[in-house]
Amino acid sequence: MTEDGPISREDLKVMVKTWDGPFSSDGKRMAYGFGPIIRQWPEGADNPLYGYFKRKEDGRLVLMPIAEQSLRWFTGKPDLDIHSLSYEEFENIYQNCRKAFSRYDFNDADFSALAKRGGRLMITHGTGDCIVPYQAAIDYYNLIMDHFPSEKIMNEAVRLYMPEMAGHSILNWTGPAVAISVGMAALTVWTEKGITPDSIPTVQYNFTEDRPVKEDSVEPFALWKYRRKIRRL
């Protein structure tokens, strides 16, 4: 029981599907969900785009505009009602989009040539991102690593920083994030002066009161640390 009534088994199934993300009919993952801990709704009216779920005045739960606009653009159907899509219809859209937009397939993640000519790639992705699930960044990190002899060698040119519960480059979300200006400054120093950023400052900011709420730093993501953490869990 809750203050709003009982949570049924059917409610639980919907919650788990939402958290885990969509799978195809043959059991293959199409996308990641956000998990139960990531806030998928805005705290107040001043954050109209934060989070995926919105509730209209009549009580209906709808998705954030960018999700609806993207699917309409992908399908070429400006009147598409995404709130009535079945799993089968969504899977068809997904498969068709993979074919139509194959040139943008990010599975080609070979940055070895960039590394050889002295280039540097720094990715920041908060684990509280309510727009792009962070698990996709870890998958991409693995794809990049396939083109290097080891993670250590890759990290000389490519690094991933994942501030815990930080948002989508959002400083006033659920955790301290890397400000874009701070990230670009670290990348510039790394590229031009060869000073590797072993940690990057993060901040959670209250824009209403114009002051930082929490300041911290984030170290580079390491796959072996991540795997050890998963084993503990």
Q: Transcribe 121-136 into DSSP letters.
A: EEEE--TT-SSS-THH
Q: Which of 53, 81, 103 is the last residue of a domain?
A: 103
Domain co-membership, 172 together with 153: yes
Rounded Cα distance, 39 and 51, in Å: 7
Both 222 and 124 in one domain: the answer is yes
Residues 18 and 80 in one domain: yes
Does residue 78 sit in helix, strand or coil? coil
Residue 44 confidence class, pLDDT cut points 50, 70, 90: low
Q: What is the spatial distance between Cα 126 and Cα 167, in angstroms, rounded to a whole number?
A: 5
Asked whether residue 3 is assigned to any structural domain, the reply reads: no
Q: Residue 154 sits in which domain range?
A: 112-232
* Confidence grade of residue 231 (pLDDT, cut at 50, 70, 90): low
Is position 1 within any domain?
no
Same-domain status, 51 and 80 = yes
One domain for residues 22 and 94: yes
Identify whether 4 is part of a domain: no
The predicted pLDDT at position 203 comes to: 97
pLDDT tens-place string over residues 154-202: 999 999 999 999 987 789 888 999 999 999 999 999 999 999 999 999 9
Cβ–Cβ < 8 Å for 165, 174: yes
The answer on pLDDT for 56 being more than 80 is no
Of 27-41, 157-171, 199-213, which gets the smallest average pLDDT?
27-41
CB 151 within 8 A of CB 224: yes
137 and 54 within one domain: no
The pTM (predicted TM-score) of the whole model is 0.84
* Domain stops at, among 60, 77, 103: 103
Averaged pLDDT, 198-225: 94
Averaged pLDDT, 26-43 = 83
* Statement: residue 63 has pLDDT above 80: no
For residue 163, the tally of other CB atoms under 10 A from its CB is 26
Helix (H) or strand (E) holding 217: strand 211-218
**pLDDT value of residue 113:** 96
What is the mean predicted confidence (pLDDT) over 99-109?
84
Question: What does the block give as tokens for 156?
Answer: 């000389």
228 and 119 fall within a common domain? yes
End of a domain among 59, 82, 103?
103
* 2 domain-assigned: no
* Proportion of the chain in helix, strand, coil states, percent, rounded to 5: 35, 15, 50
CA atoms within 13 A on the CB side of 96: 11
Q: Is the pLDDT of residue 78 over 90?
A: yes
Give the integer Cα–Cα distance in Å for 226 and 127: 12
The C-alpha atoms of residue 33 and residue 108 are separated, in whole angstroms, by 23
Question: At 52, is the secondary structure helix, strand, or coil?
Answer: coil
* Same domain assignment for residues 134 and 89: no
Does 215 have pLDDT greater than 70? yes
Coil vs helix vs strand at 42 = coil
More confident residue, 42 or 211: 211
The residue type at 160: L
Mean residue pLDDT of the chain comes to 88
Assess whether 187 and 226 both reside in one domain: yes
Judge whether 208 lies within some domain: yes
Q: Is the pLDDT of residue 221 over 60?
A: yes
Residues 47 and 91 occupy one common structural domain: yes
Same domain, 63 and 120: no
